[in-house]
Each structure stands twice: as structure tokens, then as C-alpha cells.
Amino acid sequence: MHTPAAFRSSLLVGTLIATLSWAAENGLAQDVVKTSGDQCQSCGAACCAKTLCSRWISVPMNVTETRYQSHVVKDIVDREEKYTVFRRVPVERQYFREECYLEDEVKTKTITETQCHLVNNPVERTVKVPVPEVQYRECPCGQNGCKSCGSCQEGQPQACPVIVLGEQEIKETCEQPDLVFSKTTKEIDYCVKVPKVKKTLCTTETVYKLEPVEKTRTVSVCVPKLIKTPYEVTVCRMVPQLVMCCEHCAQRIDREAERAESPRRERAEERAENRGQALEKLREHIENHAAERGQLLEKLQEHIEAFKEKDRQLLGQHH
């Protein structure tokens, strides 16, 4: 399995090859020197043509580049501007004088009068009247005869008639006075004084007020404008060049390329390792958080079950 460092190395080699090919096609690299003689183009040593190796090296070269310089200029632009003006508008004012006076007004009021009088009502009643009655009682005179009445014989007491007053119920019709209230409703008219206000025009005055009016006009304004001016500059760039060198110079060029690539490879490996550690820490944090959430859910479920059990107990007590 390829490691991230190996993948980056292969990617860099492929990019370098593509860049060198593009430079060679566009004339940025110097002319490729063919093996016209038995000489190393790097160290100048004489060697066999079969032992020469081709290597790409970077050589300084003056290149003309086009750059842009930014500067601000003032540009005159026509724009529409809205402004507000005020015009005089005449307003007429009237001044009145108020006078207060009393005016007669007739009003109607309904009153209710209550009167009382006596009325004789026929009434049938039962009364007791004294009536004389004759009753026979045993004479209290004694055996020598009654001297008062003379009706008793000597030695023979008798019943003597006695007149007494008795009671007898009779029905009679009589008149009984009764107090009766009668109500009489009538309307009366009366006059009252009502306050009134009378307005009298005194004078008229014309005043002017300012009313805003919006208008549009065309004005010329100075607007800053950014302009980029191109100019050419000659700079020294490192461009790739294909040279034919001996085996010793080829090894030296390979070692220099490896040393230049080594820090990049180390930094890439370090970044990959740091990324792996961060992902591992994130995974552990997610797992711990999931475990804590599971514990909280279990505790919550226990509390819910306890509350349900208490509710069932309370319902059982009420029943």
C-alpha cells in the first residue's frame, strides 16, 4: 500500500516532468546539448559516450516579464442628483371671537302625584250580643218559705225562675273605612337657561408656509478610478536544462535532488501523522460522547419508570 509520502513524491516527479516538457516546448529551456563529443557537460571531464547520462538541472536565465502597476486617477462622471427646495404656499387664517350667553329653553317633565283618601268597604262579621234568658234555679230561701218571691211553700223548696244575661252570635254587615293611595301622572312644561357660545368673525390673515419639493439635476462629480499600467521587467529565473553528464555527476545531481526533496517529504509525513492523530482524537471524543449520552438516557429512563410507579401507587390509593 502506498504511503502519503510516497504518493506525494510520485506526484512531484510527475509534475516536474510535465513542467520540463512544457518548458522545452515553449523555448524556456536552453538548447539541449547532444553528445557531440566525449565530454561531461557538468564537470568537463572526458569520458566515453556510452557512459554519459541525461539529467535535468536548473540554471539561471534572464527572463522578461510583464507586470502591472496600479495607480488611482480622477475621472469626471455625470450623475443625477436629487435635491429639495422649499416653496411658499399661502395659507388663510380666520380669527373668531367667542361670546357666551344664556338662552331660554322649554323642557317637558313627567311627574307622578300620589294622593290618599278613605273608602268605606262593606264587611260581614259575627258579633256576640247579650240576650236575657230565664233560668230555673233551686230556691235558696230555706224551709220556712221564700219571703222574697212567695212561690215556695213551707218545707217544700222549689225551682225559682231567674233572669240572666246570655250571649248570642249574630252576623251583621257593616262598613269599614280603608286607606287607598291613587297615583296621577301628568306632564309639565318649564323654562330653563341654557349656556350657548356664539362665534363672530373678527379678521382674516394670510400667512405663508414652506412646503418641500423634490427636484432632479445632472451634476459632474470627480470619481477615483483604479488603472493598471503594464510594464516590462527583466528578472533572473531558474529554468530547467537537459545536460549529458558522467555517472559521478549524475549521482551527485540525484543526491542534491533527494536532499531538496527530503524536507518536503518530512513535512508531508509530519502533516499526515498529525492529521491521523487528530482524526484518532476526534474518534475517541465521539465514542466517549456517545457513551455519556447512553448513560444519561439510561438514567432518564429509570426516572421515568420511577415516576410511573408512583403514579400507579397514587391511583391505587384513591381507588
What mean pLDDT comes out for the span 183-203? 90
Q: What is the pLDDT of residue 148?
A: 53
pLDDT tens-digit map of 148-175: 555 555 555 566 777 777 787 888 788 8
The pLDDT-based confidence of 50 (bands split at 50, 70, 90) is confident
Tally of CB atoms within 10 A around 241: 21
The pLDDT-based confidence of 6 (bands split at 50, 70, 90) is very low
Give the end-to-end CA distance of the chain in Å, rounded to a whole number. 74
Nearest by Cα to 227 from 73, 65, 74, 77: 73
pLDDT tens-digit map of 81-123: 999 999 999 999 999 999 999 999 999 988 888 888 788 888 8
What mean pLDDT comes out for the span 9-35? 47
Tally of CB atoms within 10 A around 246: 21
Q: Is residue 76 within 8 Å of residue 225, measured between CB atoms? A: no
Tally of CB atoms within 10 A around 158: 13
pTM score: 0.29
Q: Is residue 43 within 8 Å of residue 231, measured between CB atoms? A: no
User: Grid coordinates 527530503 are at which residue?
Assistant: 262
pLDDT tens-digit map of 52-87: 888 888 788 898 999 999 988 888 999 999 999 999
Q: What whole-number distance in Å separates Cα of residue 293 and Cα of residue 299?
A: 10
Q: What whole-number distance in Å separates Cα of residue 65 and Cα of residue 28?
A: 13
pLDDT tens-digit map of 253-306: 888 877 777 777 777 788 888 888 888 888 888 888 888 888 888 888 888 888
Q: Which stretch of 14-28, 180-194, 287-301 has the lowest confidence by average pLDDT?
A: 14-28
* HEC profile of the chain: CCCHHHHHHHHHHHHHHHHHHHHHHHCCCCCCCCCCCCECCCCCCECCHHHCEEEEEEEEEEEEEEEEEEEEEEEEEEEEEEEEEEEEEEEEEEEEEEEEEEEEEEEEEEEEEEEEEEEEEEEEEEEEEEEEEEEEEECCCCCCCCCCCCCCECCECCEEEEEEEEEEEEEEEEEEEEEEEEEEEEEEEEEEEEEEEEEEEEEEEEEEEEEEEEEEEEEEEEEEEEEEEEEEEEEEEEEEEEEEECHHHHHHHHHHHHHHHHHHHHHHHHHHHHHHHHHHHHHHHHHHHHHHHHHHHHHHHHHHHHHHHHHHHHHHHHC
pLDDT tens-digit map of 205-252: 999 999 999 999 999 989 898 899 999 999 888 888 888 888 778 888
Please report the sign of the dihedral spanned by the C-alpha atoms of residue 269, residue 275, residue 281, residue 286: negative
Tally of CA atoms within 13 A in the half-sphere of 239 that contains its CB: 20
Q: Is residue 197 within 8 Å of residue 96, measured between CB atoms? A: no
**The Cα angle at residue 247 between residues 245 and 252, in degrees rounded to 5:** 85
Q: What is the pLDDT of residue 32?
A: 39
For the cut 70, the answer to whether the pLDDT of residue 4 exceeds it is no
Nearest by Cα to 28 from 244, 243, 239: 239
